[in-house]
Amino acid sequence: MRKAAVVVLATGSLLTISPLAAPAHAVPVPPIASKGAILINGTTGTAVYTKTPDTRRQMASTTKIMTAAVVVTTKGINLNHVVTVKQAYRDYVVKQGASTADLKTGDKVTVRQLLYGTMLPSGCDAAYALADLLGTGTTTAARTKSFIGKMNKKAAELGLKNTHFDSFDGISSAGSNYTTPRDLAKIAKYAMTNSNFRAVVATPKYVTTATSSTGAKRTYTWYNTNQLLGSYKGAIGIKTGTGTAAGPCLVFAATRDGKTFVGVTLNGADRYKDAAKLLDFGFGSSTAQTMQLRSLPAGAERD
3-class secondary-structure state, position 8: strand
Q: List CB contacts of 169: < 8 A, sequence separation 6 or more.
A: 61, 63, 64, 67, 98, 118, 124, 127, 128
Catalytic residues: 61, 64, 122
Cα-only R_g, the chain: 19
Given a contact cutoff of 8 angstroms between Cβ atoms, the answer to whether 108 and 185 are in contact is: no
Q: List CB contacts of 114: < 8 A, sequence separation 6 or more.
A: 83, 126, 129, 130, 133
Q: What is the DSSP string of 158-185?
A: TT-SS-B-S-SSS--SSS--EE-HHHHH
User: Count of CB atoms within 10 A of residue 295's CB?
Assistant: 11
